[in-house]
């Protein structure tokens, strides 16, 4: 079989990308490895999704439902419970190899949208040591047990990391009768959204300990306790501050990593900062014909941004034709930690470029500057910028007469 | 002064609180000291291989209470069993012995206190199949490693486990260091190890294209390889079970009753067993078991090592197993004097040099392992890891594997080796107890040697049993064990054909390692049934990849529960107490 666009991943990004490509008249295939569409939203039963997209607060399943209904009503072909094992580029096409319960097969496609989401950082990646008992879960895994299986993985737990899923799980576990002793965050500021700090921790009297981390776990069978320590400004534990907390569970919410193993297998260049493919304003990676959307591109804090970027990626993928691109770099400068897209294609429209970026630290009365080869072409003031809260900006680059080999830099300065 | 007197003097100099005696052909140390280093040093000083059976080091560490982890099961499941052979320990040695014995029509019972076979050292090592180049020709290590290494080629085919004979490399950093490989080449000839030769840098790069920039040359040992030690262990166990052996998990030996220099009964947490013969393959507890039988002539001093597993992405930077030569000093452009050089070479060649040094190993699953280090510790079961150790190993090994970064680390683990103070294996018939065979002191290269040790133990066991009656060959013995298929390594066509037969092979459960539901079900239905998450993980890898089970463990828990017809809350990580889930949520419970 041949398709114009194949979307890999049936979460919010993949759903939007497939719908957008379909709307543009492309022949679309959507591949999802799980039995049901919706991705991680299936287990996000809390509300707060869709404020930007629909102007209402929906739960994760409700939000994805709106897209799934449209996909089901469309001409998009779907392969569910189907796992992509390998992708090869053959001439101007991609051959996608997959397996599912029917067998092993392959299809061909002109353009590819990678909407593969992200995975959670593990205990080993944050260098937790000690024994190897049961009772240590990433927040997403705990969420799966509680919300999809209806099972409690902990009775009395500590949460490491103040990422959003960790905060959501602090509330969820409390509501289900578990004791959440506290959320420990190695950074001096919380990693999750401010609204979640209020709604999930403060409203439930769950303490948040900043500049603290879990260094060790105890227990031969099931977890019996953890050791927490204060950390210094480099996030290194301060000797002498060890404290042992008796608990049977440790929930980790210590960051998400875009899943780009397929992209890497195709030698798609990856941005070290976002850990997603380097892409242009049409969300095409540096590899021709490979588009990227959602959390595989960079970790978003709102699903609405995922939908927005994925819609654009899907739409552009439908019109993909091989033609020469003139790519220039967009770099995160002083005060910013990353920017997406990382490239501008001067041969594509520049009049309505959406930029997503994060500040490197919390700043008040910040001024954003966009510089082209050192010359400021755009400025904007922000009352406050915080690393956990991604900023979004729409810019018309067409008036700046950007030339080949120039570099765009975005900078955040405290006023 | 007699050698005993001079030993006493040296040991007393360490601590006057140590009492040294000669008893039953052993040198015995008693007393109490306040640091573990002294205990180990005293044990080492007491060694005299010519004069004594071994060192019995019973020096206590002040304030230290050894605590053995025992399974919580308490029943009479095996009470009154009368096996011909009772094997204690389900590691590589015990399972190899069980398999070899299953060639005969015998009642074979293996007890393992862990929740799975390969619970100790056998699953906690890097998987190198050693060449055995620097062992003393008269040592048991040399005898069994040489034979075990050869056996791997046959076993790989019979038992269907992964094994690759890629060769091992010892890297040197300067011209003068060529002396060490040259001496070792001579040693290899003496030990009949084929193919060992020196490679210059150019030749080295052909074998190992990412050899470190400082590597001047290397000693190449083509008979070295790597395997998955726990897969070998499981394969041996399964084949033994298929051929009639009985494996009893969560079963710990608590005591023995001896009569007339023989073991009469063995008390376990699951009843008392009356074996004709006992094989002691108890790893770090081998001396405790030998003591129960009245046959102790040695002491196990736990030696911990930590290994680090790196992502498959960096697996390509190593094809073989590389170690930095023990005489190679990196950094600072340090110039060594002639005397220093000679001292280092002597040490490198001496049999005192018990550790082969931290290695960089390619694994059968295409990851990279670096480690292990060496730490003498009092606790036989301390498999905890710590940041300081993993940081140090990584820092050191980034010199050998120059392409790796700390962010490539996906997991780390520690294991405890079981050396005696003599630092050699103690594979022997009972000295003071007639119906026991000892397989003690099995540390590196134990994984390589185990199959050969199994052969020897089985032969002795059969000889012993023949004294009291005929022992028949097991005509139904099938040396072949088919492993479960690994679909990701098959071609599209082969894979398609298998899925058409069994659609479960097309349903991927573990995305990182590409493991299907069918492969997991195969593992659950293997000859040695699998009930725990860890046992599934070891056999077919869900949870071993970069997400460390985040995505797949809830799925595997559900597959296990469905297969065994129990609640998901009954599925454990490993032991009975290692619960994963506690209860239904409020809504779900109503």
DSSP conformation letters of B276-330 = SEEEE--GGGHHHHHHHTT-----B--EEEEEEEE-GGGGGG-SSEEEE-TT---
**Nearest C-alpha in B relative to A272:** B407
- Strand B436-440 and strand B426-429: the pairing is antiparallel
Q: Answer whether A102 sits within 8 Å of B516, measured CB to CB.
A: no
Q: How many CB pairs under 8 A join A and B?
A: 139
Domain A325-415 has CATH 2.30.30: no
Phi, psi at B347, each rounded to 5° = -65, -40
**pLDDT greater than 80 at residue B560:** yes
Say what the pLDDT of residue B587 is: 63
Q: Averaged over B558-563, what is the pLDDT?
A: 98
Q: Answer whether B586 sits within 8 Å of A129, measured CB to CB.
A: no
- Name the minimum distance, in Å, from the CA of A222 to any CA of chain B: 4
- As given in the structure block, the two tokens for residue A297 are 């591109």
In this structure, of A190-194, A273-277, B112-116, B230-234, the range with the lowest mean pLDDT score is: A190-194
Same domain, B249 and B162: yes
- As given in the structure block, the two tokens for residue A83 are 């796992």
**Nearest C-alpha in B relative to A217:** B384
Q: Averaged over B474-486, what is the pLDDT?
A: 95
Q: Answer whether A123 sits within 8 Å of B508, measured CB to CB.
A: no
Q: Give B556's contacts in chain A (Cβ within 8 Å).
A: none
**pLDDT greater than 90 at residue B345:** no
Residue B126: band (very low, low, confident or very high) from pLDDT cuts 50, 70, 90: confident
Residue B353: band (very low, low, confident or very high) from pLDDT cuts 50, 70, 90: low
Distance CA A152, CA A89 (A): 45
Test the A interface: residue of B73, B416, B533, B578 with most A CBs within 10 Å: B578
Say what the pLDDT of residue B352 is: 57
Indicate whether B371 belongs to any domain: yes
Q: Give B554's contacts in chain A (Cβ within 8 Å).
A: 141, 144-145, 148-149
Q: Averaged over B526-545, what is the pLDDT?
A: 92
Tell me what percent of chain A is helix, strand and coil, each rounded to the nearest 5: 25, 40, 35
Residue-wise pLDDT for B381-408, tens only, equals 999 999 999 999 999 888 889 999 888 8
- For chain A, give every domain's residue range: 1-120+256-322, 122-254, 325-415
| Of A193, A169, A198, the residue nearest A303 (C-alpha) | A193
Same domain, B146 and B199: no
Run of H or E including B456: helix B446-466
Test the B interface: residue of A103, A225, A273 with most B CBs within 10 Å: A103
- The CATH number covering residue B55 comes to 3.30.1340
Q: Closest partner residue to B585 among A81, A102, A150, by Cβ?
A: A150
Distance CA A287, CA B31 (A): 71
Residue B336: band (very low, low, confident or very high) from pLDDT cuts 50, 70, 90: confident
Q: Averaged over A404-408, what is the pLDDT?
A: 95
Q: Which residues contact residue B463 at a Cβ distance below 8 angstroms, ignoring those fewer than 6 apart?
A: none
Indicate whether B203 belongs to any domain: yes
Distance CA B71, CA B254 (A): 11
This complex has an ipTM of 0.96
Residue B340: band (very low, low, confident or very high) from pLDDT cuts 50, 70, 90: confident
Indicate whether B482 belongs to any domain: no
Distance CA B62, CA B36 (A): 9
In this structure, of A357-361, B1-5, B303-307, the range with the lowest mean pLDDT score is: B1-5
Q: Answer whether A106 sits within 8 Å of B503, measured CB to CB.
A: no
Residue A149: band (very low, low, confident or very high) from pLDDT cuts 50, 70, 90: very high
Q: Averaged over B584-588, what is the pLDDT?
A: 79
**Nearest C-alpha in A relative to B512:** A261
Q: Give A81's contacts in chain B (Cβ within 8 Å).
A: 507
Residue B334: band (very low, low, confident or very high) from pLDDT cuts 50, 70, 90: low
Say what the pLDDT of residue B349 is: 77
Same domain, B457 and B413: no
Residue B333: band (very low, low, confident or very high) from pLDDT cuts 50, 70, 90: low
Say what the pLDDT of residue B375 is: 94
The topology (CATH level 3) of A122-254 is FAD/NAD(P)-binding domain (3.50.50)
In this structure, of A253-257, A371-375, B72-76, B310-314, the range with the lowest mean pLDDT score is: B310-314
User: Matching CATH topology for A122-254 and A325-415?
Assistant: no
Domain stop point among B417, B440, B463: B417
| Of A174, A8, A167, the residue nearest A85 (C-alpha) | A8
Q: Closest partner residue to A149 among B511, B548, B554, by Cβ?
A: B554
Say what the pLDDT of residue B351 is: 59
Say what the pLDDT of residue B83 is: 98
Q: Answer whether A100 sits within 8 Å of B507, measured CB to CB.
A: yes
Q: Give A149's contacts in chain B (Cβ within 8 Å).
A: 554, 558, 568, 581
Same domain, B514 and B566: yes
- As given in the structure block, the two tokens for residue A322 are 């091989």
**Nearest C-alpha in B relative to A40:** B551
Residue-wise pLDDT for A307-317, tens only, equals 999 999 999 99
Indicate whether B479 belongs to any domain: no
CA atoms within 13 A on the CB side of B101: 34
Say what the pLDDT of residue B356 is: 56
Distance CA A160, CA B551 (A): 19
Run of H or E including B147: helix B140-159
Q: Answer whether B383 sits within 8 Å of A140, measured CB to CB.
A: no
Q: Give B553's contacts in chain A (Cβ within 8 Å).
A: 141
Q: Answer whether A133 sits within 8 Å of B313, measured CB to CB.
A: no
Mean pLDDT of chain B: 94
Say what the pLDDT of residue B342 is: 85
Residue given tokens 């088919």 in the structure block: B482
Instruction: Indicate the number of domains in chain B.
Output: 4
Contact B442, B453 (CB under 8 A): yes
Give percent of chain A with pLDDT exceeding 70.
100
Same domain, B520 and B565: yes
Same domain, B431 and B343: no
**Nearest C-alpha in B relative to A141:** B550
**pLDDT greater than 90 at residue A222:** yes
Say what the pLDDT of residue B355 is: 56
Q: Answer whether A132 sits within 8 Å of B413, measured CB to CB.
A: yes
| Of B365, B369, B452, the residue nearest B163 (C-alpha) | B365
Distance CA B230, CA B219 (A): 28
Same domain, B96 and B243: yes
Distance CA B521, CA B533 (A): 13
**pLDDT greater than 90 at residue B575:** yes
Q: Answer whether A221 sits within 8 Å of B507, measured CB to CB.
A: no
Give percent of chain B with pLDDT exceeding 90.
85
Indicate whether B109 belongs to any domain: yes
- As given in the structure block, the two tokens for residue A2 are 């041949």
B351 is catalytic: no
Edge to edge, the sheet with strand A129-130 lists A129-130, A212-218, A225-230, A243-246
Q: Averaged over A368-393, what is the pLDDT?
A: 94
Same domain, B184 and B307: yes
* Domain carrying residue B526: 488-589
Residue-wise pLDDT for A34-92, tens only, equals 999 999 999 999 999 999 999 999 999 999 999 999 999 999 999 999 999 999 999 99
CA atoms within 13 A on the CB side of B31: 20
Same domain, B182 and B327: yes
The topology (CATH level 3) of A1-120+256-322 is FAD/NAD(P)-binding domain (3.50.50)
């Amino acid at each position: 079989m041949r398709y114009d666009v194949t979307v890999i991943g049936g979460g919010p990004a993949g759903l939007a990308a497939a719908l957008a490509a379909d709307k543009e008249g492309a022949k679309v295939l959507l591949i999802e490895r799980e039995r049901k569409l919706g991705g991680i939203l299936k287990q996000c039963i809390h509300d707060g999704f869709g404020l930007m997209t629909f102007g209402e607060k929906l739960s994760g399943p409700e939000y994805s439902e709106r897209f799934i209904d449209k996909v089901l009503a469309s001409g998009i072909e779907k392969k569910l419970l189907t796992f992509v094992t390998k992708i090869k580029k053959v001439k101007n096409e991609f051959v996608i190899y997959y397996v599912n319960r029917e067998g092993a097969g392959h299809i061909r496609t002109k353009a590819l949208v990678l909407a593969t989401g992200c995975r959670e950082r593990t205990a080993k990646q944050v260098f937790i040591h000690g024994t190897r008992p049961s009772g240590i879960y990433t927040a997403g895994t705990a969420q799966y047990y509680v919300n999809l299986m209806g099972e409690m993985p902990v009775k009395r737990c500590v949460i490491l990391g103040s990422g959003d899923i960790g905060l959501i799980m602090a509330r969820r576990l409390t509501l289900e009768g578990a004791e959440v002793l506290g959320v420990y965050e190695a950074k001096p500021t919380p990693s999750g959204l401010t609204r979640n700090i209020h709604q999930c921790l403060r409203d439930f009297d769950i303490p948040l300990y900043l500049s603290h981390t879990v260094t060790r776990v105890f227990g031969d069978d099931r977890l019996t306790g953890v050791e927490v320590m204060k950390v210094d400004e480099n996030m290194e534990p301060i000797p002498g501050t060890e404290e042992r907390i008796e608990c049977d569970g440790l929930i980790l919410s210590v960051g998400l990593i875009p899943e780009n193993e397929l992209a890497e297998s195709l030698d798609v260049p990856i941005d070290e900062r976002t850990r997603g493919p380097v892409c242009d304003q049409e969300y095409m990676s540096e590899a021709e014909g490979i588009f990227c959307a959602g959390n595989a591109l960079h970790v978003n804090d709102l699903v609405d941004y995922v939908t927005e970027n994925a819609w654009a990626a899907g739409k552009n993928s439908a019109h993909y034709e091989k033609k020469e691109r003139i790519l220039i770099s967009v770099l995160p400068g002083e005060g910013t930690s990353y920017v997406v897209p990382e490239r501008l294609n001067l041969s594509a429209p520049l009049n309505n470029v959406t930029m997503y970026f994060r500040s490197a630290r919390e700043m008040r009365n910040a001024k954003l500057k966009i510089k082209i080869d050192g010359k400021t072409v755009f400025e904007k003031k922000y009352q406050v910028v915080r690393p956990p809260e991604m900023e979004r900006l729409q810019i018309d680059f067409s008036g700046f007469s950007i030339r080949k080999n120039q570099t765009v830099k975005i900078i955040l300065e405290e006023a | 002064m007699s050698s005993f007197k001079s030993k006493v003097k040296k040991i007393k100099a360490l601590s006057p609180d140590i009492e040294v005696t000669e008893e039953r052909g052993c040198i015995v140390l008693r007393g109490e000291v306040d640091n573990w280093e002294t205990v180990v040093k005293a044990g080492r000083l007491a060694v005299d291989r010519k004069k004594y059976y071994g060192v019995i080091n019973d020096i206590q560490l002040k304030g230290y209470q050894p605590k053995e982890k025992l399974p919580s099961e308490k029943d009479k499941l095996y009470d009154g069993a009368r096996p011909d052979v009772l094997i204690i320990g389900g590691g590589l040695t015990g399972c190899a012995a069980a398999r070899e014995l299953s060639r005969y029509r015998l009642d074979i019972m293996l007890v393992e206190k862990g929740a799975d076979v390969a619970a100790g050292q056998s699953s906690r090592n890097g998987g190198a199949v050693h060449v055995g180049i620097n062992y003393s020709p008269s040592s048991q290590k040399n005898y069994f490693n040489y034979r075990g290494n050869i056996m791997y080629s046959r076993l790989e085919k019979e038992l269907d486990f992964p094994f690759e004979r890629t060769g091992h490399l010892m890297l040197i950093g300067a011209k003068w260091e060529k002396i060490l490989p040259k001496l070792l080449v001579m040693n290899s000839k003496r030990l009949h190890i084929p193919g060992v030769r020196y490679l210059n840098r150019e030749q080295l790069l052909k074998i190992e294209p990412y050899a470190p920039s400082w590597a001047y040359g290397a000693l190449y040992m083509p008979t070295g390889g790597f395997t998955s030690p726990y897969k070998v262990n499981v394969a041996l166990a399964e084949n033994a079970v298929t051929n009639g052996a009985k494996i009893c998990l969560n079963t710990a030996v608590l005591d023995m009753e001896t009569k007339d220099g023989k073991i009469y009964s063995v008390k376990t947490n699951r009843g008392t067993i009356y074996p004709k013969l006992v094989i002691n393959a108890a790893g770090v507890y081998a001396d405790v078991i030998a003591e129960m039988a009245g046959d102790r002539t040695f002491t196990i001093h736990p030696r911990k090592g930590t290994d680090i597993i790196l992502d498959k992405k960096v697996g390509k930077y190593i094809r073989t197993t590389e170690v930095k030569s023990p005489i190679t000093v990196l950094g600072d452009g340090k110039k060594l004097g002639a005397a220093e050089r000679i001292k280092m070479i002597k040490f490198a060649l001496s049999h005192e040099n018990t550790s082969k040094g931290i290695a960089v190993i390619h694994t059968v699953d295409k990851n990279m392992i670096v480690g292990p280090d060496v730490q003498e510790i009092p606790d036989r079961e301390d498999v905890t890891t710590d940041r300081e150790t993993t940081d140090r190993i990584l820092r050191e090994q980034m010199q050998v594997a120059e392409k790796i970064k700390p962010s490539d680390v996906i997991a780390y683990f520690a294991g405890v080796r079981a050396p005696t103070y003599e630092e050699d294996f103690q594979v022997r018939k009972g000295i003071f107890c007639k119906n026991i065979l000892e397989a003690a002191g099995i540390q590196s290269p134990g994984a390589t040697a185990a199959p050969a040790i199994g052969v020897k133990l089985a032969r002795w066991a059969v000889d012993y049993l023949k004294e009291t009656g005929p022992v028949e060959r097991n005509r139904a013995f099938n040396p072949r064990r088919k492993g479960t298929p690994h679909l990701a390594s098959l071609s599209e066509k082969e894979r398609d054909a298998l899925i058409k037969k069994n659609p479960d092979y097309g349903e991927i459960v573990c995305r990182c390692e590409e493991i299907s539901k069918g492969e997991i079900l195969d593992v659950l239905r293997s000859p040695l049934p699998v009930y725990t998450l860890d046992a599934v993980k070891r056999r077919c890898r869900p949870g071993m990849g970069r997400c460390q089970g985040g995505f797949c463990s809830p799925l595997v828990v559900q597959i296990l529960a469905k297969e065994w017809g129990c609640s998901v809350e009954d599925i454990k990580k490993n032991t009975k107490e290692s619960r994963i889930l506690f209860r239904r949520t409020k809504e779900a419970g109503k």
